[in-house]
Amino acid sequence: MEQSSEPLGERLGYLLKHAYLRFAEESAAALEPYGIDGRELAVLAVLSAAYPLSQLEAAGRLGVDRTSMVAILDTLEAKGLVARRRSSEDRRKNIVELTDEGRDRLEKAERARDELERRFLAPLGEEGARSLTRALRALATAPEDAAPEA
Amino acid sequence: MEQSSEPLGERLGYLLKHAYLRFAEESAAALEPYGIDGRELAVLAVLSAAYPLSQLEAAGRLGVDRTSMVAILDTLEAKGLVARRRSSEDRRKNIVELTDEGRDRLEKAERARDELERRFLAPLGEEGARSLTRALRALATAPEDAAPEA
DNA sequence: TATTGTTATACTCTATAACTATA
DNA sequence: TATAGTTATAGAGTATAACAATA
């Protein structure tokens, strides 16, 4: 008597997890030459905004909590890619800014990430890649949070 | 000067991770009434095969290592859903089988998982859901591993 | 010697609580 | 009192090494 369910490798949970894990693996490899990981790259990108951000603001935009942000910034600061300075307006706040090297690293690593995304999605074809991104966007956000697009 | 990269919420890594996390969250909620998690359900499903499996064989089919399998089976055995017995042919091996209650639980939890998958993918429509599954299947397996379908 | 199950250990990620300095 | 940054701690999850029984 065979089980009625599909093979394990077809289950949605398995597929989502392994698609993510495989991307994470390739992402680590693609960013390795730049000495940062995906999370650090996201922080650098956030900090490249038009106006300077505090640690808490940066954390809020990335959906990480402030204690994690401390650790990430410690690492990035040790690498010389960001600099903290006390806000003169509110001395509780740290303003975090990219160093020149941080800006340079961001630009190069972003190119590598972009190239990786293209390579990773290549097997799907152009229309398939667009369709996947659209679907993931719909699924990644809980229905309650979903803001109707303008 | 605005950054050239897309918003963080559009990055492939972010989308894959959060789509997975959201499914994992809903999956936990959907299975909660049955007293098992997704991993335990997968083990039960594997053990419902036509012929009995050893711990190592079960671990191999799920891609978990044998030390993790020990812990999962400890839990499932404590819940009365599986039973271990020494193989009489090779006394190093544990044959693991579903109990009657395990079989019953598997059936009910599988229905809940199936229902969850449908509900989770509903926003995509029927064709969108099929297309996503197809894409994830292509991405979840590394190109080298990809076996051409018969 | 190699394999199966087991235990112990370590390492990463993340979440929580508590401390400090400032407001 | 509340907020921003920090530190310490604990909890999942996973990987590695070593051990006992058996082959």
CATH number at residue B73: 1.10.10.10
Q: What is the pTM of this model?
A: 0.88
Range of the domain at B101: 11-119
pLDDT, position B7: 61
In a domain, B130, yes or no: no
Question: What's chain B's average pLDDT?
Answer: 89
In a domain, B124, yes or no: no
In a domain, A114, yes or no: yes
**Nucleic strand D within 7 A of Cβ B67:** yes
Q: Which residues of A touch B61 (CB under 8 A)?
A: 8
Please state, for a pLDDT cut of 70, what percent of chain A lies above it.
88
| Count of structural domains, chain A | 1
Distance of CA A127 to the CA centre of its chain: 24
In a domain, A135, yes or no: no
Mind listing the pLDDT tens digit for each residue in A73-114?
999 999 999 999 999 999 999 999 999 999 999 999 999 999
Give B65-133 as a DSSP string.
Answer: -HHHHHHHHHHHHHTTSEEEEE-SS-TTPEEEEE-HHHHHHHHHHHHHHHHHHHHHHGGGHHHHHHHHH
In a domain, B42, yes or no: yes
pLDDT tier for residue B149 given thresholds of 50, 70 and 90: very low
Q: Which residues of B touch A142 (CB under 8 A)?
A: 22
CA of B72 to C1' of C5 (A): 13
Q: Residue A150: pLDDT above 50?
A: no
CA of B68 to C1' of D15 (A): 10
CB contact under 8 A, A139 and B128: no
Mind listing the pLDDT tens digit for each residue in B68-102?
999 999 999 999 999 999 999 999 999 999 999 99
In a domain, A126, yes or no: no
- Cα–Cα distances (Å) from B4 to A54, A58, A106, in that order, read 21, 18, 11
In a domain, B143, yes or no: no
Closest residue to D21 (CA to C1') is B92
Mind listing the pLDDT tens digit for each residue in B107-126?
999 999 999 999 999 999 99
Of B1, B8, B117, the CB nearest to A42: B8
Q: Residue B146: pLDDT above 60?
A: no
In a domain, B77, yes or no: yes
